[in-house]
Amino acid sequence: MSQAHGPASNPLIGIGLKVASVAIFVAMASFIKASGQLPAGQIVFYRSFFALLPVLLYLGYRGDLRAAVQTQRPFGHLVRGVVGVSAMGLGFFALTRLPLPEAVTLNYAQPLLVIVFSAIFLGETIRAYRWSAVVVGMIGVLIVSWPKLSLFGGEAIENAELLGVAAALGAASLSAVVMLQIRSLVRTEKSAVIVIWFSLTASLAGLLTIPFGWADLDAWQVTLLVSAGICGGIAQILMTEAYRHAEASTVAPFEYTSIILAILIGYLAFGERPTIHIVVGGAIVIGAGIFIVWRERQLGIERRRARQASTPQ
């Protein structure tokens, strides 16, 4: 599942694959939400283990199956797995306790936090444009969260929803840390190796939560959770293929179609009416995210020009 290193072949195909992957990820989240308030570790196991099925089939088709388990950095994968599983568990907890649009929107605090953590932990230089986008984006996150956090809301705030917001923001924070870990891993590891090792680690971690109590599932819940896992694997494949056909800066903004899809599915499947906080806050988060993608593209162009100018003719 490593990305092609050659030039982008067809941006329209890349965009189509990206939108398809986003739609299937939202379907995955919907299946998990529909399964009910189950233990997070149990959901992590089903999501991770059954995601392996389409991923392994895909790697076998490409002839990359043998190389997918060979690694030079098992400890790095283990640490990434522990942090990633923690993020996944918190995210699933939030998903089962918040309206679908809110859970999806709060997850987009992650790319904003990646910038913050890159400056703090990696010493990266972040200039005023991107800091401004981070501040604006976090204001959007606060607007989405406000009805659950404000003591002056017009209706009683349920503890479960307050915990859901905290879990969603915790998941976004840990996911941002995962992104920094992946930046380090990709220097020596293929994408397929990272995906397989994480899926195996997460499956094992999920199994280890059995002593803490798994729920007895009926056939419908099992079907939903297995479907969620398979969807997760398929969406991962489509996302990888999207980046084979188009540059990251071209397809990345289409990630935010998930908020629109979440609002639609939340209304149709769960009767969740979008609030003004979701609409306004979500629009601000989307705007900040797209600005960051655009800014990264501009900086990339500037760096390429600088390299070309410094190359002897």
Residue 3 is given by DSSP the state P
Tell me which of 62 and 271 has the higher pLDDT: 271
Region 117-140 average pLDDT: 89
| 283-to-116, 125, 133, 176, 307 alpha-carbon distances in Å | 21, 27, 13, 21, 36
Per cent of the chain over pLDDT 90 is: 56
Task: Mark out the alpha helices in 35-73 (DSSP H runs).
Answer: 40-49, 52-62
Residue 292: per-residue pLDDT: 85
Per-residue pLDDT tens digits for 152-171: 444 445 677 888 999 999 99
Which pLDDT score, from 0 to 100, does residue 156 have? 45
What confidence score (pLDDT) does residue 161 get? 83
**Global pTM value:** 0.85
Q: What's the CA gap between 186 and 72, in Å, rounded? A: 11
Predicted confidence band of residue 183 (pLDDT cuts 50, 70, 90): confident
**pLDDT the model gives residue 157:** 52
Q: Exposed/middle/buried for 123, CB within 10 Å: 0-12, 13-18, 19+?
A: exposed
Q: Rounded CA gap, 234 and 60, in Å?
A: 14
User: CB under 8 Å to 176, separation ≥6 — which residues?
Assistant: 110, 111, 113, 114, 116, 117
Percent of all residues in the chain with a pLDDT value above 70, rounded to a whole number: 92
Mean pLDDT of the chain: 87
- Write the Ramachandran bin of 125: left for phi over 0, alpha for psi from -120 to 50, otherwise beta: beta
Helix, strand, coil in percent for the chain, rounding step 5: 80, 0, 20
Q: Where are the domains of the chain?
A: 11-310
| 244-281 tens-digit pLDDT | 787 776 787 888 999 999 999 999 999 998 899 999 99
Query: Which is nearest to 26 in space by CA: 210, 204, 306, 238?
Result: 238
Task: Tell me how far apart the alpha carbons of residues 135 and 128 are, in angstroms, rounded to a whole number.
Answer: 10
pLDDT level of residue 203 (50, 70, 90 thresholds)? very high
pLDDT tens digit string along 15-27? 999 999 999 999 9
